[in-house]
A and B are shown apart, each in its own frame.
Chain A
Amino acid sequence: DVKVTQSSRYLVKRTGEKVFLECVQDMDHENMFWYRQDPGLGLRLIYFSYDVKMKEKGDIPEGYSVSREKKERFSLILESASTNQTSMYLCASSLLGTSGRAPNEQFFGPGTRLTVL
């Protein structure tokens, strides 16, 4: 079974703190993704990565950065946390798509519920 793990289920931070959210997958997937999920807005893509040291902005990258130093690990960084970054953060991974890079099935972690006070 594919396993995607996230470092914390719940996290409480203060405004201005630097926050690291870690995601690890054990299936040698090329693609990894970070989403945030807010009521009524569904999932919104923050950043994704197709390979080690490679990253691409998603729909809402402002206020976030990412790091992918190893294939199995994809980190989301909030340089200076703000209250509007309180949300559920979901990490996912997938195999690299074939035939024009069509998106493959994504495997999700359990999520990290981040509260910024």
Chain B
Amino acid sequence: SQQGEEDPQALSIQEGENATMNCSYKTSINNLQWYRQNSGRGLVHLILIRSNEREKHSGRLRVTLDTSKKSSSLLITASRAADTASYFCAGGRRALTFGSGTRLQVQP
């Protein structure tokens, strides 16, 4: 079963624009994590937000968490062509369950 459902499934923007990806999850979580995957590669951890946190920043990334709505969002500001990748949310209590991802295309 998938924990997270990302929305949109695909997103295409111009360099310099902001990209927002949303994630809804089903069961209770201890934390929610976002990962990035370049085509044909393994995933790379971006940011972790605990269930008692509402917002977290890391460089150009901003993550929010609303446990009452079981949702999270990832904002990438001032996007670059190098941000082109798939982005996944993942959550759980012991093991992570991943969503199906958002494919982000940043046009130079």
Residues of A within 8 A of B (CB): 4, 33, 35, 40-45, 48, 56, 58-59, 90, 92, 97, 99-103, 105-111, 113
Q: In the bound complex, do residue A45 and residue B44 qualify as a contact, i.e. CB atoms below 8 Å apart?
A: no
- Asked whether, in the complex, the Cβ of A103 is within 8 Å of the Cβ of B31, the reply is yes
CA distance A61 to B90 in the complex (A): 19
Residue of A nearest to B99 (CB): A42
Residues of A within 8 A of B101 (CB): 42
* B48 on the A face (CB < 8 A): yes
What are 12 A-B contacts defined by CB distance under 8 Å? A35-B98, A41-B100, A42-B2, A42-B88, A59-B97, A97-B30, A102-B31, A103-B31, A103-B93, A106-B96, A110-B41, A111-B42
B33 at the interface (CB under 8 A from A): yes
Inter-subunit contact A4/B88 (CB<8 Å): no
A92 / chain B contacts, CB cutoff of 8 Å:
42-43
Q: State how many angstroms separate the Cβ of A5 from the closest Cβ of chain B.
A: 10
Report the separation of the CA atoms of residues A91 and B98 in the bound assembly, to the nearest whole angstrom: 14
Mask: chain B, 74-88; 1 = CB below 8 Å from A; 0 = not: 000000000000001
By a beta-carbon cutoff of 8 Å, the part of chain B in contact with chain A is 1-2, 30-31, 33, 35, 40-45, 48, 50, 88, 90-101
Minimum distance in angstroms from A8 CB to a CB of chain B: 14
Q: Which residues does chain A contribute within 8 Å of B33, judged by CB atoms?
A: 103, 105-106
Query: Do B41 and A106 have beta carbons less than 8 Å apart?
Result: no
Asked whether A58 lies within 8 Å of B41 as measured between CB atoms, the reply is: no
Closest to A50 in B: B94
Contact indicator B30/A103 (Cβ below 8 Å): yes
Of residues B33, B88, B93, B98, which shows the largest number of chain A Cβ atoms within 10 Å of its Cβ? B98
B21, chain A: closest CB distance, angstroms: 13
The answer to whether A102 and B40 touch (CB under 8 A), given A33-B95, A41-B100, A42-B98, is no
A36 to B35, CA, bound (A): 16
Complex contact B43–A90 (CB within 8 A): yes
Residue of A nearest to B91 (CB): A103
Question: Please, how many angstroms separate the alpha-carbon atoms of A42 and B89 in the complex?
Answer: 10
